[in-house]
């Protein structure tokens, strides 16, 4: 029999939250702070962790407060206990990052998303690494970003394999031909940054010589879409943002995704070379590697008349790092370890649609998008 829980709101100074006695049975549902008192929504079983009953829980805010601080830290937690919130507040205090405002962007059963505005000027690289280390302890994502980047972008560049789709296409082709382990090992080395992408691409393509074009068409229809990809892309289109695939994979599959599955505006990927209805094993220049991805994204921004701070990139592999470091945000989604350490921002516990919180949107605003 499930234990009954109570959801109540407590209004106390933000600094005093860290002093509440530890309570394993208390879950944070929301936290709002725009003045002297924080509004803390706690769900708990049994006795109140604050020793008092609190008030009725408030409805979710229609929209977050405007961002006026130089930096924001967004916590995306699958299950946020009061103890973990206290750890986070102690982390900010220990690094002397004053919290000027807190907004709740999501308060669902499967996630609590809190955005903290910070009146600080941290050295970004070490600050980001400290946030990653704390995130592991909290079993959550903690994303540090400039305050001005908390707005929808105007151009978003996406890797395809393992980013928009939940597969590495070239590995899937290799499995069918019976050389899956051999090709997958090359792919993994390249994605970890241990092998030059251009070199690895040529090696893998040579091994796929003779693969039929007809079979490629069958595979395209079976590619699994990454969780949250469609939601994110449709939201970006509704927000007036152009989207582009910038992939070391193939135009053959990216074109199919654009035509049949996902609302994408531009495609830049590698072209397959055929002869007599089968792959030749050769490559067509220019190969879309990491540097090429960055060049293409920058070129598109210039053609659209956009400053870099209105551009974002999303990817997962080492060959995405150059474009992840180009614009306002570089979001690594379920990244390889090397990429998680080097990407400006990272999301590991949620799908692609969680990126919408980094644009300053809450669940009510997201749900209202056409």
Range of the domain at 237: 155-367
Residues 209, 74: one domain? no
Range 82-87 average pLDDT: 96
Active-site residue, selected from the candidate residues 103, 159, 289, 353: 159
Q: 145-184: per-residue pLDDT in tens?
A: 999 999 999 999 999 999 999 998 888 888 888 887 887 8
Asked if pLDDT for residue 50 goes beyond 90, the answer is no
Measured between alpha carbons, how far is 352 from 345 in angstroms, rounded to an integer? Answer: 13
Residues 184, 131: one domain? no
- Taking the model in full, what pTM does it have? 0.94
Asked if pLDDT for residue 192 goes beyond 80, the answer is no
CB atoms under 10 Å from CB of 233, counted, come to 24
* Strand blocks (E) in the chain: 6-12, 26-33, 38-44, 55-56, 71-77, 99-108, 111-118, 141-146, 155-158, 242-250, 266-270, 274-275, 278-279, 311-315, 329-333, 345-347
Q: Which of 149, 168, 185 is the last residue of a domain?
A: 149
Active-site residue, selected from the candidate residues 161, 171, 320, 353: 161
Assess whether 159 carries a catalytic annotation: yes
Residues 114, 162: one domain? no
Measured between alpha carbons, how far is 254 from 265 in angstroms, rounded to an integer? Answer: 11
Asked if pLDDT for residue 330 goes beyond 90, the answer is yes
pLDDT at residue number 1: 44
Residues 201, 76: one domain? no
- Quote the number of domains for the chain: 2
Measured between alpha carbons, how far is 342 from 129 in angstroms, rounded to an integer? Answer: 9
Contact residues for 346 (Cβ-Cβ < 8 A; gap 6+) = 132, 141, 143, 331, 332, 333, 335, 339, 340
Asked if pLDDT for residue 21 goes beyond 90, the answer is no
Contact residues for 136 (Cβ-Cβ < 8 A; gap 6+) = none
Assess whether 289 carries a catalytic annotation: no
The three-class DSSP label of residue 224 is: coil
Q: Which of 99, 133, 149 is the last residue of a domain?
A: 149
CB atoms under 10 Å from CB of 350, counted, come to 22
Range 306-320 average pLDDT: 96
Residue 1 belongs to some domain of the structure: no
pLDDT at residue number 170: 83
């949620």: which residue's tokens? 350
Residues 246, 300: one domain? yes
Residues 143, 162: one domain? no
Residue burial 329-339, b: 16+ Cβ < 10 Å; e: rest = bbbbbbbbebb
pLDDT confidence band for 2 (50 / 70 / 90): low
Residues 101, 163: one domain? no
Range 303-331 average pLDDT: 97
Phi, psi (degrees; rounded to nearest 5) at 166: -95, 55
**Where would I find the H helices in 79-228?**
82-94, 124-138, 169-177, 180-191, 197-207, 213-220
Compute CA distances 42 → 20, 220, 236, whole Å. 12, 47, 33
Query: What would the two tokens of residue 309 be?
Result: 């701070």
User: Would you state the torsion angle of the CA atoms of residues 240, 325, 85, 355, taken in this order, to the nearest 10 degrees?
Assistant: 30
Residues 337, 216: one domain? yes
Q: 244-303: per-residue pLDDT in tens?
A: 999 999 999 999 999 999 999 999 999 999 999 999 998 899 999 999 999 999 999 999
Q: What is the 3-state secondary structure (H, E, C) of 114-153?
A: EEEEECCCCCHHHHHHHHHHHHHHHCCEEEEEEHHHCCCC
Q: Which of 149, 169, 185 is the last residue of a domain?
A: 149
Contact residues for 325 (Cβ-Cβ < 8 A; gap 6+) = 294, 343, 344
Asked if pLDDT for residue 353 goes beyond 50, the answer is yes
């Amino acid at each position: 029999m499930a234990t009954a829980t109570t959801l109540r709101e407590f209004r106390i100074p933000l600094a005093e939250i860290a002093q509440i006695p530890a309570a394993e049975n208390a879950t944070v549902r929301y936290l709002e702070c725009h003045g002297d008192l924080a509004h803390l929504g706690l769900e708990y079983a049994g006795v109140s962790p604050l020793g008092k009953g609190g008030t009725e829980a408030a409805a979710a805010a229609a929209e977050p407060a405007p961002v006026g601080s130089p930096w924001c830290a967004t916590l995306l937690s699958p299950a946020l206990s009061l103890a973990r919130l206290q750890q986070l507040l102690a982390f900010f205090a220990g690094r002397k990052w004053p919290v000027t405002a807190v907004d709740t962007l999501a308060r669902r059963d499967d996630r609590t998303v809190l955005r903290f505005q910070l009146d600080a000027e941290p050295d970004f690289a070490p600050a980001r690494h400290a946030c990653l280390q704390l995130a592991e302890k909290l079993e959550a994502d903690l994303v540090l970003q400039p305050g001005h980047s908390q707005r929808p972008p105007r151009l978003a560049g996406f890797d395809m394999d393992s980013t928009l789709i939940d597969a590495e296409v070239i590995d899937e082709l290799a499995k069918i031909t019976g050389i899956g382990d051999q090709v997958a090992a090359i792919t993994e080395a390249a994605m970890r940054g241990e092998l030059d992408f251009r070199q690895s691409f040529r090696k893998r393509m040579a091994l796929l010589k003779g693969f039929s074009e007809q079979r490629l068409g069958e595979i395209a229809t079976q590619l699994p879409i990454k969780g949250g990809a469609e939601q994110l892309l449709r939201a970006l289109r509704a927000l007036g943002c152009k989207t582009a695939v910038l992939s070391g994979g193939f135009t053959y599959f990216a074109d199919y995704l654009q035509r049949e599955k996902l609302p994408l505006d531009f495609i830049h990927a590698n072209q397959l070379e055929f002869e007599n209805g089968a792959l030749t094993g050769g490559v067509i220049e220019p190969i879309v590697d990491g540097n090429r991805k960055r060049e293409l994204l920058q070129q598109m921004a210039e053609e659209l008349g956009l400053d870099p701070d209105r551009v974002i990139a999303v990817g997962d592999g080492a060959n995405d790092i150059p474009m992840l470091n180009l614009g306002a945000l570089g979001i690594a989604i379920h990244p390889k370890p090397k990429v998680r350490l080097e990407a400006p921002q990272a999301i590991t516990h949620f799908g692609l649609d969680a990126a919408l919180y980094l644009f300053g949107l809450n669940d009510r605003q997201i749900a209202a998008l056409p």
